[in-house]
């Protein structure tokens, strides 16, 4: 049995106010092309299909289009909900979908359902464990949680997995959307830290997955194995933060022959637009951008070329450059952020604020602060601007 492992699609996600629906549509088509070229007829999706519990019309339409294409091509899709998904919405129509080889489990109802498929080696079972909380499992099996010390995610998942009635001699695959750690914690990215979702989920050890030939995990956006090779986060198919730029996105294709005979191939994903970091003085960045071939298709850039990529820029100019954001955005229309790194910002990062008396007037207080941080006097234009902001904030009144 050969299948493809996806997770954390986050359809409908915006990054730094940029809508990524076109990029997501492109990468889903790319994924389908990879499945065709590798003779993959089963696709598993381990949660966080959508980015929000109430996805936009565009997001729902895109996922519907993806499922329709899968069905037309005769592919089986097996999916579970993640913590970003609405379990009720994903569960809607699931019994009808199953008639078209689309199996979706959004709600945990005391049992872990499975899909039985068949190949030349016999049956193979895909067990579907959506995102759960310990309290939900406890509501179905209170007797398992009489010892309060065992009231944890580790215990909850362990209890949940006891109740499908696993055939340990058969080939078993598990879809799960939880925070699983091996001897070390998995690598995280800013797109998880920003939501604080990962930090609120207790760790689950890998030892409770011994019955499974492969564990298809969702929840972490960086592709990686956990503990052993066949317990794996597929990662998100696209970068959703600057911290993921150096991590190549891929899709695992898993082949299971006889029991215990598992092979995994990671196929790199080429996005429509990459996320990139650039750094330097503004004039040099502009010159370098103008020298680029806008139709370049190298691995360094996305399929749409270097000038269409999402850019995180850092300027190192010592002197202030007026309208620097607008000047750079004229060349890179998808400029995601602009930061500054020079002697002043470095001094500011290292500065310790001390000996500034709060008894002083606003004018003297701000003058002292400016001098201590930047080592120079504040000029009249900057100070007038600062006073206007302070007035709007109600810190000082019009008479000051």
CA distances from 193 to 84, 226, 247, 373 (A): 14, 19, 16, 30
- Examine the domain organization and report whether 183 and 216 are in the same domain: yes
Residues 262 and 256: their CA atoms lie apart, in Å, by 5
Q: Is the confidence at residue 397, as pLDDT, over 90? A: no
Helices (H), the chain: 21-37, 57-72, 87-91, 94-97, 134-140, 153-162, 190-193, 282-290, 324-331, 343-350, 362-374, 380-392
User: How do beta strands 262-268 and 42-46 pair?
Assistant: unpaired
- Structural domain count, the chain: 3
Q: Is the confidence at residue 366, as pLDDT, over 60? A: yes
Q: What one-character DSSP code corresponds to residue 293?
A: -
- Examine the domain organization and report whether 28 and 83 are in the same domain: yes
Q: Check residue 227 and give left, alpha or beta (phi > 0: left; psi -120 to 50: alpha).
A: left
What domain range includes position 233?
2-268
Q: pLDDT for 305-351, tens place per residue?
A: 999 999 999 999 998 889 999 999 999 999 999 999 988 777 766 66
Q: pLDDT for 185-235, tens place per residue?
A: 899 888 875 444 444 456 899 999 999 999 999 999 999 999 899 999 999
Q: Is residue 397 part of a domain?
A: no
Boundary of a domain, candidates 343, 362, 378: 343
Name which residue leads in pLDDT, 130 or 147.
Answer: 130
> Given this model, what pLDDT does residue 389 score?
83
* Mean pLDDT for all residues in the chain: 88
Token readout for 235 is: 């990662």
User: How do beta strands 310-315 and 335-340 pair?
Assistant: parallel
Q: Is residue 224 part of a domain?
A: yes
- Examine the domain organization and report whether 306 and 259 are in the same domain: no
What share of the chain in percent tops pLDDT 70? 89
> Given this model, what pLDDT does residue 194 score?
42
Pick the closest to residue 340 from 315, 369, 323 (CA basis).
315
- Examine the domain organization and report whether 11 and 27 are in the same domain: yes
Q: What is the pTM for the complete model shown? A: 0.86
Q: Is the confidence at residue 355, as pLDDT, over 80? A: no
> Given this model, what pLDDT does residue 398 score?
65
- Examine the domain organization and report whether 144 and 236 are in the same domain: yes
Q: Please give the distance of CA 185 from its chain centroid, rounded to a whole number.
A: 17
Boundary of a domain, candidates 228, 247, 268: 268
Token readout for 27 is: 């990468």
Using 50, 70 and 90 to split pLDDT, how confident is the model at 61?
very high
Boundary of a domain, candidates 268, 297, 324: 268
Pick the closest to residue 116 from 104, 127, 107 (CA basis).
127
> Given this model, what pLDDT does residue 358 score?
60
Q: Is residue 192 part of a domain?
A: yes
């Amino acid at each position: 049995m050969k299948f493809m492992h996806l997770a954390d699609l986050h359809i409908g996600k915006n990054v730094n106010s940029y809508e990524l629906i076109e990029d997501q549509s492109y990468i889903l088509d790319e994924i389908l092309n990879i499945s065709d070229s590798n003779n993959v007829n089963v696709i598993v999706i381990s949660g966080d299909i959508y980015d929000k519990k109430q996805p936009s019309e565009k997001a729902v339409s895109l996922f519907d289009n993806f499922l329709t294409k899968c069905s037309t091509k005769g592919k089986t899709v097996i999916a579970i909900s993640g913590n970003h998904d609405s379990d009720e919405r994903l569960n809607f129509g699931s019994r009808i979908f199953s008639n078209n080889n689309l199996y979706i489990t959004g709600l945990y109802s005391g049992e872990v359902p499975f899909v039985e498929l068949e190949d030349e080696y016999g049956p193979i079972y895909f067990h579907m464990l959506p995102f759960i909380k310990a309290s939900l499992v406890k509501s179905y099996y209170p007797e398992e949680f009489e010892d309060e010390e065992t009231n944890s995610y580790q215990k909850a998942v362990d209890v949940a997995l006891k109740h499908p009635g696993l055939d340990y001699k058969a080939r078993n695959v598990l879809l799960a959307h939880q925070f699983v750690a091996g001897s070390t914690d998995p690598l995280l990215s800013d797109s998880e830290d920003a939501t604080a979702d990962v930090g609120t989920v207790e760790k689950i050890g890998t030892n409770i997955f011994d019955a499974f030939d492969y564990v298809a995990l969702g929840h972490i956006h960086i592709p990686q194995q956990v503990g052993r090779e066949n317990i794996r986060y597929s990662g998100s198919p696209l970068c959703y933060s600057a911290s993921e730029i150096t991590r190549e996105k891929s899709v695992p294709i898993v082949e299971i022959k006889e029991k215990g005979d598992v092979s995994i191939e990671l196929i790199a994903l080429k996005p429509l637009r990459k996320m990139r970091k650039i750094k330097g003085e503004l004039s040099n960045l502009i010159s370098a951008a103008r020298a680029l071939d806008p139709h370049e298709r190298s691995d360094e850039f996305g399929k749409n070329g270097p000038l269409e990529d999402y850019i995180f820029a850092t300027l190192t100019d010592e002197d202030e450059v007026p309208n620097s954001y607008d000047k750079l955005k004229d060349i890179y229309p998808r400029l995601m952020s602009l930061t500054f790194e020079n002697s002043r910002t470095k001094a500011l990062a290292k500065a310790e604020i001390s000996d500034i008396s709060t008894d002083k007037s606003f004018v003297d207080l701000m003058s002292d602060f400016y001098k201590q941080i930047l080592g120079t006097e504040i000029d009249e234009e900057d100070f007038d601007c600062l006073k206007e902001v302070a007035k709007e904030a109600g810190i000082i009144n019009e008479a000051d």
